[in-house]
Structure 1
Amino acid sequence: MTTTAPRLGPAVTRLLLVVAALLGTLLATAGPASAHAALTGSDPQDGAVVATAPKDVNLTFSEQVAMGTDSIRVLDPSGKRVDTGEIRDMCSGSIVRYGVELLPGLPDGTYTVAWQTVSADSHPVSGAFTFSVGAPSTTTVALPEQSAGGGVVGALYGIARYLSYAGFVVLVGGGAFVLACWPRGAGVRPVQKLVVRGWLTLTGATLAMLLLRSPYTGSGKLADVFDLAGLQSVLATKTGAALSSRMLLLGAAALFVAVLFGAYARRTDEKEHKDLTFGLALGGTVVAAGIAGTWALAEHASTGLQPGIAMPVDILHLLAVAVWLGGLTTLLVALYRDPSVERSAVERYSKLAFGSVVVLVVTGIYQSWRQVGTWSAMTDTRYGQLLLVKIGLVAVLVGIAWVSRRWVRRLGDAGGTETTGTAGTAGASEPSEAADVSEPSEAAAPEDSTDSEGSERSEGSEGSGAEGSEGSEGSEGSGAEVDDARSAQLARQRAAVATARRKRERDADPERAGLRRSVLTEAAVAVVLLAVTTVLTSTEPARTEEEAGRLKASSGSSAVPNRPIDVRMPFDTGGVDGKGTVQLTLSPGRTGANALHIYVLRPNGRALDVPEVKVAFTLKEKQIGPLPVLPDRIQTGHWTATGVQLPMAGEWQMQITVRTSDIDQITIDKNVKIG
């Protein structure tokens, strides 16, 4: 016989609404995932104007990335692709650099470089920039408005990520709670449904991520979910291998759940029960660690500092979260759907949760050091800010858990060594439904007086049906129908009486009611905590963001060795036609003789004719210079000099003086690395 779940009170409803609002706000502001890898430099640089068309375009990243045939595309001003499509791997040591060759004989104009790839921690990255040959020009190429990992596909993928974490937490935490804290719970129907739904959620979310992976990292089109070629390419990646491995492990998890709620729940022999408990605990731990390892294999733990240590630590961290929050969810279900849950089970979970929190704190400290690095990054980066929010939520959860422990102690003080409220001792099994149905209490009778009267009327109808049955065979069929309707009505009445009795018994214990409210609050905060964790795992770590920023800043003042140096600097002399931009190219950009080209442009990009341009080079470290260079005017806005000698490698200061009239001139400088 099934019973109706007790309704949640107004306070609980308000709490759930607040949690839903917080969760919706968090997920709505999450946006596309920031990736672990970042573009730190390019050759040519963004916005550079080079004298002649380069033979290739090179991109430098902060960490390893996965490149495909279309990862780098170079488009001319009309939008036509002008690269060969052959990606060259120029990685060396800690330098991650890829390039693509350009077609020969490219005309002057502005070219667009669009790139898209996947970082080592599975998150897609993309971007675009322009450079010009000869002089800037108009272009019909529109830069992509949507970054990789965004749009509808990105939102669906983010939801699947959250559901996968939630399913894992409920599956692992629910199984651990039954085995370690409440073996009788293996036979409780609501607990069985909770753990099975956790398995179904994790399986469905994993399958969705596997299908969405190709458009998530590529086209961004939802229709490409059914592209078998894209799915095949995904399976060949590290993330695809992790997701497919998770699907296989979920098959073993299904067997674990079947044994836990089948043979284990029915086992009565004490020795056999202990042996089966040990086997389930060992096998369940191995499967749970394997599933957790699929996250560690494909995300932040697998890249960056100390991956050999970070991956096992990440697995422990995920298992601790699952045991704590998943056990909390199972306890909440038990308190609401099975009021006779033993106090000893609550105490055992309290100890298990305490151990999980200790593991969570220790592994969290290591992960924070590894991913953040500096105190300033905690407040100056998105990752650090989210981490502070997570730490605050964990602190709130620990505080609420402390309140829950007080309710557990009061539960014991109020009812003896092991109490279950007014229902009886904790060691007793759940009151049978037959007893509840056949022996409704008098106290419940007034509440169900309407049903009782209806029952009496049904009994009267039964008599009438019986008399009618003696009259004719036709009325005999009507009497049978009345009997069936009466039986169904009586069953509903008795079920309602039994439910009302259990609800009164549950609510009559204030200590148990206080524990339920406290655990419900913990679960509500845990939902938001899980959302923060999901966003955190898809956000670029603070340490990487800061290092990428430093590399990008340094690359702005330097060039790739033995490659032309392209510099663009604005100026303002203050006079008429005093504003513009100086674009300088130093080729080949190394020690010895170099050729120098200078372009002076108006703000609108047209050539600006100026009376004089001078350049000087100074190597302050070696106290060399300034070495003056007087370029010759070739045409309007174009000056050049040959044989510019730079005798030593190092960071040279390049000073450019632009005179726009007899009295208006300005000197600007830029540091460049030579050799």
Structure 2
Amino acid sequence: MTDMTVAPRRWIARLTAAAGLLVTVVALLIVPASPASAHAVLSRTSPAASSVVPSGPAEVVLTFSEAVRKVPGKIRVVAPDGSRADRGEPSFDGGVVTIPVDPSGERGTYLVSFRVISADSHPVSGAFTYSVGAPSAAPVDAGDDSRADPVVSTAVKVARFLGYAGLVLLVGPVLVLAALWPSRLSRRGPSRLAWTGLGLVAVATVADLWLQVPYTAGGGLFEVTGEGFSSVLGSTFGAAHLVRLGLLAASAFLLRPLLARPVGRADAIILAVLGGAALLTWPLAGHAAASPAPAVSVVVDAVHLGSMAVWLGGLLMLVVFLLRQADERELGAILPIWSRWAALAVSALLLGGIVQALIEVGNLEALFATTYGRLLLAKVGLFAVVIAVAAYSRQLVRRRTAAQRPVPVRRAVLVELVVTVVVLGLSATLVQTTPARTAVAEPSGTQAGFFTATLSSSLFTLQVELDPAERGNNSMHLYAYTKDNRPQPVVEWRATAALPSAGVEPIEVPLLPLTDNHAYGDINMPAAGDWQLKITVRTSDIDQATVTATVPIR
């Protein structure tokens, strides 16, 4: 192939990549701005929850702490006779949701159930009642199927992990082939690794888009409607993922020549710009875009993710290829350069992690009292192990023993790889976990912590959720399942809460059945301590069982 043939192809690849970048920039500019908060909280309703009004309202108004988006068909007002009392589609104006209601409805208790999407793409659901004229038996929302399937929740985490793994498999080979790869060695192995990484990122991105529909709307893995999918694609989450797919397609044109042979500086710069833009799509679709300082969080999160990909991807190339195939002279030149790169990546990881923690955790209490904080502590602990092993391997490089005796370095790098893969798994879980800053109560009255537990009996498994798990008013959700994780129909619910250490006798918790396996109740816990929840579930005329849980209230 002549240079005259190769040159036009290179220019076509560059123009295609530049066009992809231009489309991405335009898409980012037209994406609607995200509100600067996460996990919106229902702060006020009209009519007020549990209130009795003299006549039927023409509308029900839900006011959230931050702007929310619609989940199609998941906001309902149910009349005392079980029929739908809402009329037409609800309107959304920032954090205010207005539901048109038939004002001429019958007297009695009405049920309002809702499911909306917060700024960080996570669902927020709940229910409350109000009464017209006088209270009556609360109705059941037979159409409430909004609870996410456990398979969907697990699949979301798996997709996120595969996306991170693909990023590592892509970045490592590209970086090493572009700057450190000996010319005498074949590029076939690293090239296959890079294409596998690109494919994994693309598949994970498409899976994220698909899974976001049942995750936010509720339902099973294949319960995806056109309206739900359209809603996801029209959100910031959807736009970020579409932009990522476009950038991957544009990058593929430049990756092909780079993976086959060394390329010029212009191609490398364009590819680096495309890669940097693609990295931004991860934080733009998650907690970072909805943090109190979104611009800082997005940049820091992207640097954090990119540094992890460079470090882990480089380690993978070392242990799989270079330490096995390169000779002593080549390793003597490669390892010192890689050692400096690793040091820079680790420094960026540490700095990014500190800034991230300050923003997402907020205070020391949240670090130890929330699931997010504890996962972050586990991640830091594992990261410390990796740092120690990395320091040992770099010490070997500085002593110039790695080229002569690569086995110790290979073992150290392998340990780094294994532990860092676990860190990636924790990261995939963290992005699906409520940030600690919104899971611990603040003096201003923002959303506090959250208690959840799964209790087992001989008849059923019961998932208990208490929010905000602090002194004062708390909302309780109960979900009953069979032993094979199917919804368990419940005939009767009963629950009490007691605080023996403070002399508080069992308090009856009024429970409202929302579906045949889901009940909701409100309870006031006036004192701090380890409260004892006792829940009795009757599944038939003769079958019932009681389970207990200890809930720490602070």
Deviates more, 1:378-387 or 1:541-550: 541-550
Alignment-derived partner of residue 116 in structure 1: 115
The question of whether the paired residues in 1 share the 8 Å contact of 2:166 and 2:200 is answered with yes
The question of whether the paired residues in 1 share the 8 Å contact of 2:115 and 2:124 is answered with yes
The question of whether the paired residues in 2 share the 8 Å contact of 1:40 and 1:61 is answered with yes
Is 2:282 the counterpart of 1:295?
Answer: yes
Alignment-derived partner of residue 550 in structure 1: 445
> Secondary structure of 2:82's match?
coil
Alignment-derived partner of residue 139 in structure 1: 139
How much has 1:229 moved relative to structure 2?
4.7
CA distance in 2, matches of 1:145, 1:535: 25
Closer, same or farther: CA 413–244 of 1 in aligned 2, 3 Å = closer
Amino acid in structure 2 at the alignment position of 1:70? G
The question of whether the paired residues in 1 share the 8 Å contact of 2:288 and 2:297 is answered with yes
> Secondary structure of 1:103's match?
coil
Alignment-derived partner of residue 573 in structure 1: none
Match of 2:303 among 300, 306, 316: 316
> Secondary structure of 1:111's match?
strand
How much has 1:69 moved relative to structure 2?
5.2
Alignment-derived partner of residue 270 in structure 1: none
Alignment-derived partner of residue 382 in structure 1: 371
Closer, same or farther: CA 231–184 of 1 in aligned 2, 3 Å = farther
Alignment-derived partner of residue 165 in structure 2: 166
Alignment-derived partner of residue 260 in structure 1: 258
How much has 1:334 moved relative to structure 2?
1.5
Matches within 5 A, 1:85-234: 85-89=88-92, 91=94, 96-133=95-132, 134-141=134-141, 147-148=147-148, 150-184=149-183, 187-225=186-224, 227-234=225-232
How much has 1:52 moved relative to structure 2?
4.1
Q: TM-score, normalised by structure 2?
A: 0.68
Closer, same or farther: CA 112–179 of 1 in aligned 2, 3 Å = same
CA distance in 1, matches of 2:264, 2:43: 54
Amino acid in structure 2 at the alignment position of 1:241? A
Alignment-derived partner of residue 357 in structure 1: 346
> Secondary structure of 1:79's match?
coil
CA distance in 2, matches of 1:399, 1:191: 28
CA distance in 2, matches of 1:232, 1:83: 23
Alignment-derived partner of residue 85 in structure 2: 82
Question: Please, what is the CA RMSD of the aligned residues?
Answer: 3.4
Match of 1:246 among 239, 244, 249: 244
> Secondary structure of 1:187's match?
coil
Match of 1:73 among 73, 76, 89: 76
Q: Deviations over 1:232-289 (max 9, x none)?
A: 333222111111111111112222321112232xxxxxxxxxxx35234312221111
CA distance in 2, matches of 1:54, 1:379: 45
Closer, same or farther: CA 45–514 of 1 in aligned 2, 3 Å = farther
Amino acid in structure 2 at the alignment position of 1:320? S
The question of whether the paired residues in 2 share the 8 Å contact of 1:127 and 1:147 is answered with no
> Secondary structure of 2:84's match?
coil
Alignment-derived partner of residue 235 in structure 1: 233
Alignment-derived partner of residue 331 in structure 2: 342
Is 2:532 the counterpart of 1:533?
Answer: no
Between structure 1 and structure 2, the one with the greater Rg is 1
Closer, same or farther: CA 527–48 of 1 in aligned 2, 3 Å = farther
CA distance in 2, matches of 1:177, 1:307: 32
Alignment-derived partner of residue 360 in structure 2: 371
How much has 1:195 moved relative to structure 2?
1.5
How much has 1:326 moved relative to structure 2?
1.4
Specify every segment of 5 or more residues in structure 1 that has no aligned partner in the other structure, as ranges.
Answer: 1-33, 265-275, 422-510, 559-569, 571-578, 582-600, 606-675
Alignment-derived partner of residue 410 in structure 2: 516
CA distance in 2, matches of 1:324, 1:230: 38
Closer, same or farther: CA 400–557 of 1 in aligned 2, 3 Å = closer
How much has 1:309 moved relative to structure 2?
2.5
The question of whether the paired residues in 2 share the 8 Å contact of 1:77 and 1:141 is answered with no
CA distance in 2, matches of 1:281, 1:580: 69
Amino acid in structure 1 at the alignment position of 2:247? L
Match of 1:395 among 384, 400, 403: 384
> Secondary structure of 1:223's match?
coil
Q: Deviations over 1:149-195 (max 9, x none)?
A: x4323322221111111111221233123323335497333222221
Closer, same or farther: CA 280–393 of 1 in aligned 2, 3 Å = farther
Amino acid in structure 2 at the alignment position of 1:343? G
The question of whether the paired residues in 1 share the 8 Å contact of 2:147 and 2:218 is answered with no
> Secondary structure of 1:551's match?
coil
How much has 1:407 moved relative to structure 2?
3.1
CA distance in 1, matches of 2:80, 2:396: 71
Amino acid in structure 1 at the alignment position of 2:425? A
Match of 2:394 among 405, 410, 413: 405
Alignment-derived partner of residue 62 in structure 2: 59
The question of whether the paired residues in 1 share the 8 Å contact of 2:146 and 2:218 is answered with no
How much has 1:46 moved relative to structure 2?
4.1
The question of whether the paired residues in 2 share the 8 Å contact of 1:335 and 1:516 is answered with no
Alignment-derived partner of residue 566 in structure 1: none
Alignment-derived partner of residue 304 in structure 1: 291
Amino acid in structure 2 at the alignment position of 1:545? A
How much has 1:337 moved relative to structure 2?
4.9
Instruction: Count how many residue pairs are aligned between Structure 1 and Structure 2.
Output: 421
The question of whether the paired residues in 2 share the 8 Å contact of 1:77 and 1:137 is answered with yes
Closer, same or farther: CA 396–87 of 1 in aligned 2, 3 Å = same
Closer, same or farther: CA 404–557 of 1 in aligned 2, 3 Å = closer
Q: Deviations over 1:404-457 (max 9, x none)?
A: 1233345x248xxxx4x4xxxxxxxxxxxxxxxxxxxxxxxxxxxxxxxxxxxx
Matches within 5 A, 1:405-424: 405-410=394-399, 412-413=400-401, 419=403, 421=404
Alignment-derived partner of residue 16 in structure 2: none
Q: TM-score, normalised by structure 1?
A: 0.57
